[in-house]
Chains A and B, each alone.
Chain A
Amino acid sequence: MSLTRNDSAVRIVHVYPNLLGTYGDAGNAIVLRGRLHLRGLPVELIAVEPGQALPREGDVYLLGGGEDAKQTAAVQMLRADGSLVAAAGRGAAVLGICAGYQLLGTTFLGVGGVPTEGLGLLDVTTGRLERRAVGNILARAAEGGLGADGAPLPELIGFENHGGATTLGAQALPLGVVEIGVGNGGGENGTAGAGRRTEGAVQGAVFGTYLHGPVLALNPDLADAILARVAGPLPPLDDSLVEALRQHRREHVLPATERSTRARSVLRLLGRRDSAPSGAAATLSRR
């Protein structure tokens, strides 16, 4: 981790890892650095803690998940600092996870559920889910072709742990369509037709997702899609270990998640008379 500028290196800026780093999201920085390093490309990883100024000339900015108070503190500091918004404006790639995703949007619920202004780099707003989403998640890549030469990415795999319901505006596209799990949440604007729910958002080179795992460790094609935006086309890497991991998730972990989700929703239906969540009641009365 060096602050000396190397003009040919890809500069990855890890934003406030001690504030936004509760769920292993520091791994995204390790993965991006590793994937450039393994290809013999120069890379500079700069971790910036609160109190330090963000570099303006970064190529990729990473923001992880964190608790409400830390999320609110982070957005205030980032707005005062200004460098992240400026860098995104000139085309730098930005990836926000969970709380980091929400604060890239226009509004989110901060400390005590108070609507709080985000950085506005993604056309998304975040409210609250009725029930916290905790579990493994599988999302089919959305249309739009983020992969090399416009090819669609392979399915996104991760672990979600959030209470946010994120609604996409007209300028943001979803990253994926949820097969197992919750993702952006079930609001009408969070669906992708036929009741399918979406996951994450992308707008230019700004990416947001609820996926921990970390997301770039489990989804190397997404990692390379982000790197390709700032470093150009990249030669392939041997990803056989992570392919084995993805196969294990698909064949063993995710089916168990799906079974337990189904069992829980059956139990919820049976218990609904006593414990209709307020949101469901509101939906019924609107009809």
Chain B
Amino acid sequence: MTKAPVLTDQDAPRRAAPRSLRTQVALGAGRVVGGLSRRLGRGSGVVVRGRVALALDPTVLSTLASGRRTAVVTGTNGKSTTTRLLAAALGGPVATNATGANMGPGILSALDDSPSLLAVLEADELHVPSVMRQTRPEVVVALNLTRDQLDRTHEVSRTAQVWGRAFADRPGVVVVANAADPHVVDAAEQGRPVWVDPGLRWTEDASVCPRCGAVLDWVEDPDGGPARWSSVCGFAMPTADYVLTPGGVRLPDGEELAFSLLLPGEVNRGNAIFALAAAAALGVDAREAARRVAGVRVVDGRYATLDLGGRSARLLLAKNPAGWAAALSMVSGDAVMAIGINARIADGTDTSWLWDVPFERLAGRVVGATGDRRFDLAVRLHYAGATPIVEEDPVRLAHRLPAGPMVVAANYTAFREMRRYVAGELDR
């Protein structure tokens, strides 16, 4: 593998397939409908545009993807951030679905919008097989598998099996995989794994061995590092090629590379080393990649600065218990937190998961509760030992909360509504 500072068109192993008349018509029709949808104020039009094109020509996605060097990023948490970091790490123009539309139609629109021969594509966990079949990636980043929306949950173990079959169906695919997640490891061994240890552990969804069903043994590292897992059947945490360290990352050659990020939190430092490992698998020098990811500040509204009637706040997105644990770890002790919770279809309509989030970390603090399900949240905060301030309007809430740097964390549709308060331009 060559180490090029910037990947260029010359690195592309294949030439793009010629586009048939049918493909051109399908893409044209998609653009027209997508533009119409956008002008009618029905959203970005990205998804409907892809749907129209795919309906007219089911092969259009594989046609658009051909000739490109593609990385696919998937997992329950950190997909969008890692996709953004990897796109930055590659340098230069990259075709990427930066707005999180992560199924076939959204990916199609991203590829149609960019002629770049490099593509970094976020894929929904359960769409990994079809996205891989159509885009033929060289690299797949497999971040983690944890419980997500409870009312239509797919068992974590079943998703891992789906991934494993998809990796086996594409021999030679490099799987940049989380060594600390037993389900991810189980699947990644079906491809050519590059193991990443991102530091943080989420053990709630990894209680039993994916291979034999026995209860997994999590043992603290004698050198003070994070815990390691193993099973009586011999299945055990592999030795990681890339390891998050307090100051940076330990590379496969044993060298420690220091790096800094504008993005907050340990979990994003973990996401960054997945991006470095994937960039290296595509031939980019890890040092160069580390310099590039350092400058990413906002990911499709996440971490953006809000203006709540004159009070500024940083916006975080979290969608499930593991994501919330990560978001809470990003909030410093002196910060004032407001939390927005909805339970619409896109969020999952069951709010029971609030009780799987370690809100006890906010005990003794005044915490704002907003969103459709602010009362569900307030009861949870109350039992966690925090003092909830319940207020539907985010601006009024900002003025009722104590002084201090403010952070607003919200789940999916609540986050979308919060974005109307973003100060200035959204980073894309």
Contact = CB atoms under 8 A, between A and B. Distances in A.
A16 to B, nearest CB: 9
A67 interface: yes
Contacts of A242: 379
Contacts of A161: 150-151, 350
A282 interface: no
Interface of B: 147, 150-153, 155, 203-204, 207-208, 213, 215, 343, 349-356, 375-376, 378-380, 382-384, 388, 390
Contact of A18 (B204, B350, B354, B355): B204
A30 B375 contact: no
Interface of A: 18-19, 21-27, 30-31, 34, 49-51, 67, 69-70, 73, 134-136, 159, 161, 212-214, 217, 241-242, 244-245, 248, 253
A18 to B, nearest CB: 4
Contacts of B352: 23-25, 27, 159, 212-214
8 contacts: A21-B356, A23-B350, A25-B352, A26-B355, A27-B380, A51-B215, A159-B349, A212-B352
Contact of A241 (B147, B203, B208, B375): B375
A24 B354 contact: yes
B327 to A, nearest CB: 17
A50 B383 contact: no
Nearest to A28: B355
B378 A245 contact: yes
Contacts of A248: 375
Closest 6 CB pairs of A and B: A27-B355, A24-B352, A245-B375, A18-B207, A24-B355, A212-B352
B355 A217 contact: yes
A245 B376 contact: yes
B150, B204, B383, B388: most-surrounded residue (chain A CB, <10 A)? B383
Nearest to A67: B155
A33 B375 CA distance: 20
A73 B203 CA distance: 19
Given A24-B355, A24-B356, A159-B151, A245 B379 contact: yes
Contacts of B155: 67
B351, B352, B379, B380: most-surrounded residue (chain A CB, <10 A)? B352
B232 to A, nearest CB: 11
B349, B355, B388: most-surrounded residue (chain A CB, <10 A)? B355
Nearest to A34: B383
Contacts of A26: 355-356
A136 B151 CA distance: 10
A244 B375 contact: yes
A135 to B, nearest CB: 7
B229 to A, nearest CB: 13
A4 B152 CA distance: 40
Given A27-B352, A136-B349, A69 B375 contact: no
Contacts of B207: 18-19, 50
Contacts of A49: 215
A23 B350 CA distance: 9
A134 B155 CA distance: 15
A217 B379 contact: yes
B379 A69 contact: no
A15 B355 CA distance: 16
A217 B375 CA distance: 12
B213 A69 contact: yes
Contacts of B147: 22
A184 B153 CA distance: 21
Contact of B151 (A25, A134, A214): A134
A257 to B, nearest CB: 8
Contacts of A69: 208, 213
A244 B379 CA distance: 9
A241 B151 contact: no
B203 to A, nearest CB: 8
A30 B379 contact: no
Contacts of B384: 30
Contacts of A24: 150, 350, 352-356
A67 B156 CA distance: 10
A159 B350 contact: yes
A51 B212 CA distance: 16
Given A51-B215, A136-B349, A245-B375, A30 B355 contact: yes
A169 B390 CA distance: 44
Contacts of B390: 241, 244
A24, A27, A244: most-surrounded residue (chain B CB, <10 A)? A24
